[in-house]
Amino acid sequence: MERILVFCAHPDDEIIGVGGTLAKYAQEKKKVTVVIFSSGENFPFWLKKEHTIKEREKETKKAGQILGVHETIFLGLRDLSLKDDLNKKEVFSKVVAIIKKIKPHQIFTHYPGDVFFNHDAVGKFILKAIKKANYTKAIYMFKVWNPFYFGKRQNPKLIIDISSMFVKKIKALDVYESQKLVIYMLYPFIFFKAVFEGIKYKTKYVETFLRYG
């Protein structure tokens, strides 16, 4: 059974970035594991952090079920101090151990260079962790916050037609009651990107990734 491992900074990054692809892979009987670094507990700021963390974890599991995710692992790092937490040895060891244990055939993570610095930090961290874990297979990177721009001369290396999974992707996003506001702000981007790139690649909806190495 092919194993897929996804690393992302926050709940919902995996859905926005790679949700359609994960649903497709799950349907193809691939075993998908998602690792989430932080609950993004600082928003909404008017709610108690503990409450937000619990809600997010519940929502993430529910969204994962919709997509067919096998397992979701929460690392529980602090969103506002994510960079400090990523410098901790035990966090690094934990992530390396996860890669070694799962022995994935493909890894998906943030594009280092994502405008949102916690996404960038996780992307860079994973590139270090795969080296330590002696992982040499494919690593694909997605952008969440500026989905239109991959930079110059960086054509996507993996293009997945998610037309049949697009409804599932939106349904999974809908689960995130606790961050509706942010997600609604992103909706036009998600639709526009999927449609725009779909036209480019002559299909309805796609998700695109850069390949590392």
Pick between residue 13 and residue 207 the one whose CB is nearest to Zn ion. 13
- Measured in degrees and rounded to the nearest 5, phi and psi for residue 156 equal -60, 140
| Residues near 33 by beta carbon (within 8 Å), at least 6 away in sequence | 3, 4, 5, 6, 69, 70, 71, 72, 73, 98, 102, 104
Taking the complex as a whole, how short is the minimal distance between the CB of residue 131 and Zn ion, in angstroms?
Answer: 24
Pick between residue 133 and residue 141 the one whose CB is nearest to Zn ion. 141
Judged by the rule CB under 5 A, the positions of this chain that interact with Zn ion are 9-10, 13
Residue nearest to Zn ion according to CB distances in the complex: 10
Per residue, what are the HEC states of 82-138? Answer: HHHHHCCHHHHHHHHHHHHHHCCCEEEEECCCCCCHHHHHHHHHHHHHHHHCCCCCE
Taking the complex as a whole, how short is the minimal distance between the CB of residue 155 and Zn ion, in angstroms?
Answer: 24
Taking the complex as a whole, how short is the minimal distance between the CB of residue 58 and Zn ion, in angstroms?
Answer: 18
Pick between residue 10 and residue 169 the one whose CB is nearest to Zn ion. 10
Taking the complex as a whole, how short is the minimal distance between the CB of residue 64 and Zn ion, in angstroms?
Answer: 16
Pick between residue 15 and residue 129 the one whose CB is nearest to Zn ion. 15
Pick between residue 17 and residue 68 the one whose CB is nearest to Zn ion. 17
Environment class of residue 182 by beta-carbon count within 10 Å: exposed (0-12), middle (13-18) or buried (19+)? middle
Taking the complex as a whole, how short is the minimal distance between the CB of residue 111 and Zn ion, in angstroms?
Answer: 12
